[in-house]
Amino acid sequence: MSVENYIITRKVKLHPVGDGKEIKRVYKYIRDGMYNQNKAYNILASTIYTKMFAGCDKDELNDIYKRSQRVPKEKDSSYSLYKYGEIVFPKGMQTQSSVCQKVKAYFKQAQKDGLFKGKVSLQNRKLTAPLWIERQQFSFYYPYETYQEFLDHLYNKDCEIYMKFVNGIVFKVMLGNNISKSREIRSVFQKIFEEEYIPRGSSIQFDNTSIILNLSLQIPKESPQLDEDTVVGVDIGIAVPAYCALNNNKYQRSVIGCADDFIRVRTKIQAQRNRLQANLKYSNGGHGRKKKMKSMYRFAKTEKNFATTYNHMVSKRVVDFAIKNKAKYINLENLKGFDKDKTILRNWSYFQLQEFITYKADKYGIVVRKINPYHTSQNCSCCGHWEEGQRDGRKFVCKACGFKADADFNAARNIAMSTEFVDGSEDEEEI
């Protein structure tokens, strides 16, 4: 089994260490840093976009990028891209350099996506978007004398881990009192201190009044021995969220989840939110409106969290099925533009599910491919015959060879055997 590396992200709650005055300073530092970083990003991105659209040369673009990395001077307006007093970068951070790198990376990808052909629009960042932090700007430590003492406390409520940040800021890592729920993040920090997981450039943001670290980690990728000739096909069905089958084995299959349960829970949450929204439409404006709308935001967050958790479950079981059968590839349908089942697609974050399957599969070196879904439900997976009416609800009966099977299984096998690959990266959207 060969070992490579890949990147994962974990959310970590932080709390500033210090008295009330210090906590206010930290909150102001992060808020101001986010505001100035994202404002600088929008100024630079807009400037580059305008110049590229006008057909400027490479030297002029390089000059703009060079000026964007300079701190503005009061008496020399041409020195920096930004006006003096307009942008105040956070002390101790190389924010202007991060902004320049992010904009360069964005335009490199945006040109491929068709930015100047009208296929996508110019991306702007909200002024409250996360603050980027470089790897050298933070580090973790524990207050114990030995590593064994740290391990003795790690899975207890009294465990203490701290993060040293720039500008004299220190955070306490909030692991939570529920050991069972926080076991995974505690094990992550154990592997960080053992240098099995390597922290990379990350970001800090606010979740209401909480400070959240989006911690990026480089971790080992385990690559089991996979069979190049084995492919898993995944069908998003009406009766089940995901039906898995193999291209070279007509007996192996896996039925994952139940669409009825998924839709029942999610539509229940949607109905509760709609009723609440109807009751709130007569709410008057003023200072009390934000408080009244909190319940609406809570329902929206509950629905999103439920769908995300369900997609994590489905994607993990899809990848586990592929590993069990040593499949090198997983084939998914590119459903953009296909009205497979309005109820399923409206209530199913299919693009998110694809992303979850992709990054979980990547951990083991499994390649995810997208195929044309045309006639995957109507073709016979045994002889390849196509004719309308062969699929009748949950049953599939081939009118040529007489093959009979569960309709979702037949579709999953067709997906697994398909070679009509498509690149749907530009067309996908979360439903």
Q: b or e along 232-264 (b: 16 or more beta carbons within 10 Å of the residue's beta carbon)?
A: bbbbbbbebbbbbbbbeeeeebbbbbebeebbe
pLDDT, position 426: 38
Q: 328 and 389 share a domain?
A: yes
pLDDT, position 133: 95
Going by C-alpha positions, the residue among 124, 130, 186 that lies closest to residue 155 is 186
CA distance 255 to 62: 54
Domain presence at residue 281: no
Alpha-carbon torsion angle 235, 238, 242, 243, nearest 10 = -60
- Cα dihedral 47, 52, 53, 55 sign: positive
**pLDDT of 117 over the 90 cut:** no
Mean pLDDT, the chain, rounded, equals: 85
Domain presence at residue 42: yes
389 lies in which domain range?
227-259+315-417
Considering only residues 412 and 402, tell me which one the structure prediction assigns the higher pLDDT: 412
C-alpha distances in Å from residue 113, one per residue of 76, 296, 310: 37, 35, 30
Q: Which of 174-188, 192-206, 349-363 has the lowest mean pLDDT?
A: 349-363
Listed in sequence order, the DSSP H helices in 325-395 are 342-347, 350-362
Nearest 5°: the CA angle 216, 218, 222 is 135
pLDDT, position 342: 43
Q: 338 and 409 share a domain?
A: yes
**pLDDT of 345 over the 80 cut:** no
Domain presence at residue 181: yes
Mean pLDDT of 328-349: 66
pLDDT, position 279: 65
Domain presence at residue 424: no
Of 93, 125, 157, which closes a domain? 125
Q: 146 and 203 share a domain?
A: yes
pLDDT, position 52: 92
**pLDDT of 373 over the 70 cut:** yes
pLDDT, position 119: 87
Q: 19 and 42 share a domain?
A: no
**pLDDT of 233 over the 80 cut:** yes
Q: 363 and 253 share a domain?
A: yes
Mean pLDDT of 346-374: 82
Residue 385's CATH number = 3.30.420.140
Q: 143 and 14 share a domain?
A: yes
pLDDT, position 318: 94
Q: 336 and 351 share a domain?
A: yes
pLDDT, position 13: 96
Of 179, 199, 223, which closes a domain? 223
Q: Where residue 392 falls among pLDDT bands split at 50, 70, 90?
A: confident
Q: Where residue 400 falls among pLDDT bands split at 50, 70, 90?
A: confident
CA distance 279 to 184: 40
Q: 107 and 175 share a domain?
A: no
Considering only residues 349 and 413, tell me which one the structure prediction assigns the higher pLDDT: 413
pLDDT, position 267: 72
**pLDDT of 205 over the 90 cut:** yes
CA distance 44 to 113: 20
Q: 341 and 395 share a domain?
A: yes
**pLDDT of 50 over the 90 cut:** yes
Q: Who's near 336: CB < 8 A, 6+ residues apart?
A: 424, 427, 428, 429
Domain presence at residue 239: yes
Mean pLDDT of 13-23: 96
Of 125, 157, 179, which closes a domain? 125
Taking the complete model, does pTM exceed 0.75, yes or no? no
Q: Which of 289-303, 308-322, 358-372, 389-403 has the lowest mean pLDDT?
A: 289-303
Domain presence at residue 345: yes
Domains held by the chain: number: 3
Considering only residues 372 and 277, tell me which one the structure prediction assigns the higher pLDDT: 372
Domain presence at residue 266: no
Classify residue 116 by its DSSP letter: G
pLDDT, position 317: 93
C-alpha distances in Å from residue 412, one per residue of 108, 210, 245, 246, 370: 36, 44, 5, 8, 13
Q: 78 and 202 share a domain?
A: no
Joined together, the tokens standing for residue 234 give 């995944």
Q: 159 and 144 share a domain?
A: yes
Q: What amino acid is encoded at 369 in this protein?
A: R
Tens of pLDDT, residue by residue over 253-304, are 999 887 666 667 767 766 776 766 666 665 555 555 556 666 666 666 776 7
C-alpha distances in Å from residue 168, one per residue of 17, 161, 373: 10, 17, 56
Mean pLDDT of 403-413: 87
**pLDDT of 398 over the 70 cut:** yes
Going by C-alpha positions, the residue among 126, 166, 135 that lies closest to residue 41 is 126
Q: 54 and 115 share a domain?
A: yes
Domain presence at residue 215: yes
